[in-house]
Amino acid sequence: MFKNYIKIAWRNLIRNKSFSFINIVGLSLGLACSIFIFIWVKDERGIDAFHENGEQLYIVTSREYTGNEILDSYDTPGLLAEELKDKIPEIEYGCNIGWNSYHTFSANEKTLKLKGNYAGADFFNMFSYPLLIGSKETVLKSPESIAISKKMAVSLFGNIENAIDKTIKFENYIDLQITGVFDDLKNNVSEKFEYIINWNLFIKRHSWVNNWGNSGPTSYIQLKAGVTSEIVSPKIKSFISNYDKNYSDDDKLELGLQRFNEAYLYSKFENGIPSKGRIEYVNLFSIIAIFILLIACINFVNLSTALSIKKAKEIGVRKVIGAKQPELIKQFLAETLLFTTIAIFISLLLVGLLLPTFNDVTSKQISSPFINGTFWLNILGLTIITGLIAGSYPAFLLSSFKPISVLKTNITLSPKSGFLRKGLVVFQFVLSILFIVGVIIISKQINYIQTKNIGYDKENLVYISTTGNIEAKFDVFKNKGLEISGVNNISIMSYRPVGLNNTTSSVDWLKKAPNTKINFTPLAVGYDFIKTIQADLLYGRDFSLDFSDTDNYIINETALKKIGYKNPIGMPLTFWGKKGTIIGVVKDFHFNSLHVPIAPLVIRMSHNNEGYALVRVQSDKMQIALEGLKTLYEQLNPNFPFAHQFANEEYALLYESEQVVHTLSNYFAFLAIFISCLGLLGAVLFAAEQRKREIGIKKVLGANIAILIKVITKDFLIMVSIAFIITIPIAWFIMQNWLENFEYKVTVNWPVVFAIAGACVFLIALLTMSFQAIKAALANPVKSLRTE
């Protein structure tokens, strides 16, 4: 029996090639899009979810109350994790981790510049990064110990066995002993690294870590088996107050806990709790996948219903010769499943062909899902569910036709049926208009981010690490570098100005209220810093060789507001116990993403030239300048590879997620509109078939083509109008919430946005309907009026 169903379904598919083609194309695109989104969502949810101790592994959060402000972050004192482990008996392990950054290593006359981190001795006890050689209990016990990746070991020593216990030169100034080799990290890790260095070296290089008033590193703890965060959270809430006595009742810092495997998706804070982040995009695209699949299924319903007119007499004949309604339902569902199976096959082919492109767009490395048994079970379920959703209504509708009615005259469907079909068309266009509005708003915000004046000129600004001899010979590098054609200015800063997260409360000034707790972001720079980044000075001057600026400071506008000086130039300021004078106030510039407000900033002179050389280059001489800088760098620093980054590219990386959303939204909007237009085409075909006799009569009575086209399209334009009206509040609410993720956001002219979206949809709808409407209007009325 089932074989017979498939045969009949195949014949119907071949007999109605146009309908079949539109149905299969719509379903294939909808399914392919949904599959892409589902594998992306699965990959996102799998990040950092592989650790064996995941249920007990937590990241420590900080929530600081300063006056009327609440500052939330993962930044904590660099001594916190070990102290928590020592003082809280329910904590089994604890380690602080620094910032992933590039460092240079030398061994066997080879030099590599790789990205890695510092971490406490418990790191490999807590995290399940597989050690190929070495014991997780002892690998980071020694202050000079380092664990390296398999890739790094092979690059420097040929194989992992030769690497163990060897010494490796770190930044050309200290020898570290390789005590372990871990396997190369897979794609399900949020922070990639090639080495882990013992935390003691971080403390040795950054003495500020020993002050409990300074924050920046991240703290991780692992609770003992059976212990829950509800037990530990109250014990660590006010833990910092035991070590930092500068807090008052109004100014306080509270610690919290977040499960580590949730931090990747929930990294944005709301009222002190990490509750937002990438999870919003995961949920958004999950909904989009469902909606696009629904749009494709709605197409199938509309097209199948349109086709029902042609099948009516066939159904009547089959009922007369004894076919029962359940058998007809099975037949039509079999036909739908055949369509769906073909569409699934085509969609899987599209997924296989386009997966590399999808990975490029999303900056992912998702492997082919076809080797996963679970994937095929999901596909089977998707096929059945899609087939049932798409085929149920047409199956019950077609099988309910009365044989006498359909054999005697043309079939007319009930008003309820018409209401449902119109409702489905409206729903399709609600989603399409929503996609268009989303694309417009996201594009505006991305453009705003890219073009907004962030307070300094990020174009033609180059970063070069002062690794190795450059740190000691920076004055030579600067003087000779300024002689290179195309180089305008050179300065130095301790960190790149795209993510300064470390803070300190060790700042004092005249008439500072007792127990006032304000966190400032510290930044060490060289001479001509303001001039090089081309920021604006509101008062005073830049650091200059013409003055002795060792004990002088420059602050930003926000810091000035916190300090409260009316005439700040020449006023005293004490930073980390070092008394000095304010010589300048720089206009606020963004040193973090536009998601967060600008923090108070204290800029001081660098004492060791550690960090990055900043080079301002003429745009028309960029290549000449880079070649000259490379030659100079290699002369002064022959053991280290020359590497540089552009400030504008580093800035763009802050909004990588938004860029991905922007690109995917464009594709999804196009697909949603295209698939919706296929559904609209099906609805027009249905209307033309239903009103064939009416159109024929009007044409015989002298109606012109324009009137006939209006007869066919009027109802659909009303439906698109209804969809537009419904979408306005929904789109406004969704996109306004999305914009709230940014501290600095574009001003939206909503009437213009909705006017553009509406015009696009109406134009697309008209173009979609025109061909079929004109074809129906030009049809021979004699054929329309002939009784079949």
40-56 pLDDT tens trace: 998 999 999 999 999 99
Q: What is the mean predicted confidence (pLDDT) over 719-742?
A: 87
DSSP for 388-415, please give it: HHHHHHHHHHHHT--HHHHHHS-----H
Give the model's pLDDT for residue 84: 94
Residue 91's pLDDT band (boundaries 50, 70, 90)? very high
Give the model's pLDDT for residue 167: 93
**Top-confidence residue, 129 or 384:** 129
Give exposure, 29-59, as e/b (b: 16+ Cβ within 10 Å): bbbbbbbbbbbbbbbbbebbeebebbebbbb
- The answer to whether the beta carbons of residues 572 and 581 sit under 8 Å apart is yes
Give the model's pLDDT for residue 20: 73
Residue 193's pLDDT band (boundaries 50, 70, 90)? very high
Give the model's pLDDT for residue 125: 94
Residue 25 has pLDDT above 70, yes or no: yes
Q: Which of 116-125, 128-137, 160-169, 264-273 has the lowest mean pLDDT?
A: 264-273
Tokens of 237: 């809430």
Phi, psi of 47 (to 5 degrees): -65, 130
Q: What is the mean predicted confidence (pLDDT) over 218-235?
A: 93
- Among 635, 629, 571, 574, CA closest to 602: 574
- Among 238, 233, 361, CA closest to 668: 361
Residue 535 DSSP class: P
Query: How far is Cα 498 from Cα 491, in angstroms, rounded to an integer?
Result: 16
Give the model's pLDDT for residue 122: 95
Give the model's pLDDT for residue 63: 85
Tokens of 68: 């009327």
Distance from chain centroid for Cα 44: 10
**Top-confidence residue, 128 or 712:** 128
- Among 449, 472, 456, CA closest to 614: 456
Query: How far is Cα 786 from Cα 781, in angstroms, rounded to an integer?
Result: 9
Query: How far is Cα 126 from Cα 96, in angstroms, rounded to an integer?
Result: 12
Residue 622 has pLDDT above 60, yes or no: yes
- pLDDT tens profile 707-729: 666 666 677 778 888 888 999 99
- Which residues on adjacent β-strands are paired with residue 274? 269
Residue 291 has pLDDT above 90, yes or no: no
Give the model's pLDDT for residue 570: 92
Residue 654's pLDDT band (boundaries 50, 70, 90)? confident
- pLDDT tens profile 423-440: 777 887 888 888 888 888
Give the model's pLDDT for residue 181: 96
> CB count, 10 Å around CB of 487?
23
- The answer to whether the beta carbons of residues 292 and 671 sit under 8 Å apart is yes
Query: How far is Cα 302 from Cα 421, in angstroms, rounded to an integer?
Result: 7
Give the model's pLDDT for residue 149: 96
**Top-confidence residue, 769 or 668:** 668
**Residue 709, helix vs strand vs coil:** helix
Residue 788 has pLDDT above 50, yes or no: no
Give the model's pLDDT for residue 648: 86
Residue 13's pLDDT band (boundaries 50, 70, 90)? low
Q: HSE of 203 in the Cβ direction (CA atoms, 13 Å)?
A: 18
**Top-confidence residue, 693 or 189:** 189
Burial category of 591 from C-beta neighbours within 10 Å (exposed 0-12, middle 13-18, buried 19 and up): buried
Give the model's pLDDT for residue 235: 92
Residue 209 has pLDDT above 60, yes or no: yes
Q: What is the mean predicted confidence (pLDDT) over 204-208?
A: 85
Phi, psi of 568 (to 5 degrees): -70, -30
Q: What is the mean predicted confidence (pLDDT) over 697-706?
A: 61
Give the model's pLDDT for residue 530: 93
- Among 601, 596, 587, CA closest to 533: 587
Query: How far is Cα 441 from Cα 735, in angstroms, rounded to an integer?
Result: 7
Give the model's pLDDT for residue 216: 84
Query: How far is Cα 387 from Cα 382, in angstroms, rounded to an integer?
Result: 8
Give the model's pLDDT for residue 349: 92
Give the model's pLDDT for residue 588: 92
Residue 786 has pLDDT above 60, yes or no: no
Q: Which H or E run includes 134?
A: none
Q: Which of 186-195, 483-492, 639-648 has the lowest mean pLDDT?
A: 639-648
The type of residue at 497 is P
Q: Which H or E run includes 448?
A: helix 415-451
Query: How far is Cα 379 from Cα 31, in angstroms, rounded to an integer?
Result: 10
Give the model's pLDDT for residue 555: 95
Q: What is the mean predicted confidence (pLDDT) over 73-93?
A: 92
pTM of the model: 0.78
Residue 120 has pLDDT above 90, yes or no: yes
- pLDDT tens profile 570-610: 999 999 888 999 999 999 998 888 878 888 999 999 877 78
Residue 317's pLDDT band (boundaries 50, 70, 90)? low
Give the model's pLDDT for residue 299: 74
Q: Look-up: residue for tokens 């010589």?
A: 583
- pLDDT tens profile 387-417: 776 666 665 555 555 555 544 555 555 555 5
**Top-confidence residue, 775 or 240:** 240
- How far is residue 733 from each of residues 298, 434, 558, measured CA to CA in Å? 25, 11, 32
The type of residue at 73 is S
Residue 539's pLDDT band (boundaries 50, 70, 90)? very high
Tokens of 645: 């980054």
Compute the mean pLDDT over every residue in the chain, rounded to the nearest whole number.
82
- The answer to whether the beta carbons of residues 190 and 264 sit under 8 Å apart is yes
Q: Which H or E run includes 62?
A: strand 57-66
The distance in angstroms from the start CA to the end CA of the chain is: 32
Angle of CA points 199, 496, 149, to nearest 5°: 40
Give the model's pLDDT for residue 627: 93
Tokens of 76: 């904590």
